[in-house]
Amino acid sequence: MAPEPRGFAGRAPRAAGILGFTQASSFRPTAGLSGNQPLAVTDLTKKSLALDFRLPGWGTNLRIALFSTRSAGNVSAYCSALLSKARQVCAEHGMQIISLDFTDEALKDTDDPATTDEQIENVLNRAKSAAQNRTKLGDLLVIFCPSTTADTVNPQQEAGRTIRGVGGVPRLPFILINTLTSNPDQLTLIHEMGHAAGLNHEPLFVKRTMGTGALAYLTSRGVRIENNFMSDENRTSRRDMFAFQVGVLGTAFFGSPGNIEG
């Protein structure tokens, strides 16, 4: 999805401290290097970009709570399809999704679509109070709702959005799944979970944090970055997850050690 004004836009890519990002040091000697010189692809970079990384031991549980608005209608089949794909991608890397599914009982007073800021706030507040009653704190809230393209101020055409604070007020991110459109690869849920954990789109993030050399390295290994689950350019065949992305998801606020049942 494209960066959204209230969601991910403007957020600088995080670079430090995650599975060996190779950050350009500001004290790095630059003699003889032009500004466009790719950074050297170190062993650490290669490890960060491995596609077969699995969290050790029991892995991590990612906890989500699923809700739907009255305006969404029956979302059971769509919800199952998105969950199934998300579980499939996560399982390969030692992560399980623990989901609490409340979508069979629509949130109260949510007959409108969730398109305008006001409507979105209403939906979130309804989900929050439902969550307080029925789930533990720390679950990532995922709300199935229609977000129409008809709104002239804030038309929504994306299959999913990760929304953070409004007006500069920080809060935990939550996810809206738009029931009016979907992506062919059904990767929307895990893609948005990646955003909620702090990941940005690829190849932008790798390029900015590891340099163009890292992209060339991937190409030389036959890895097509558009197949990455955080790609915004491909919506038909995403499936790959880099080691550093597993690290970010595994330490997300909605994650907990895998030996503790969600």
Chain residues in the site for Zn ion (CB under 5 A): 1
Comparing CB distances to Zn ion, the nearer of 1 and 197 is 1
Least distance CB 205 / Zn ion (angstroms): 11
Q: Could you give the 3-state DSSP secondary structure of residue 181?
A: coil
Least distance CB 130 / Zn ion (angstroms): 26
Comparing CB distances to Zn ion, the nearer of 41 and 193 is 193
Least distance CB 8 / Zn ion (angstroms): 7
Regarding beta strands 95-101 and 140-145, do their DSSP bridges make them parallel or antiparallel, or are they unpaired?
unpaired
* CB-based burial, 96-112: b 16+ in 10 Å, e otherwise: bbbbbbbbeebbeebeb
Least distance CB 158 / Zn ion (angstroms): 8
Regarding beta strands 255-257 and 60-68, do their DSSP bridges make them parallel or antiparallel, or are they unpaired?
antiparallel
Task: Return d(Cα 245, Cα 225) in angstroms, integer.
Answer: 13
DSSP H helices, the chain, are 43-48, 76-91, 117-134, 188-197, 204-210, 212-220, 243-250
Task: Return d(Cα 203, Cα 205) in angstroms, integer.
Answer: 6
Task: Return d(Cα 139, Cα 128) in angstroms, integer.
Answer: 10
Least distance CB 35 / Zn ion (angstroms): 29
Comparing CB distances to Zn ion, the nearer of 1 and 65 is 1
Comparing CB distances to Zn ion, the nearer of 160 and 258 is 160
C-alpha separations of 97 from 15, 34, 37, 135 in Å: 26, 45, 41, 15
Comparing CB distances to Zn ion, the nearer of 1 and 41 is 1
The residue with its CB nearest to Zn ion is 1
Least distance CB 1 / Zn ion (angstroms): 4
Comparing CB distances to Zn ion, the nearer of 119 and 183 is 183
Tokens linked to 111:
């007959």
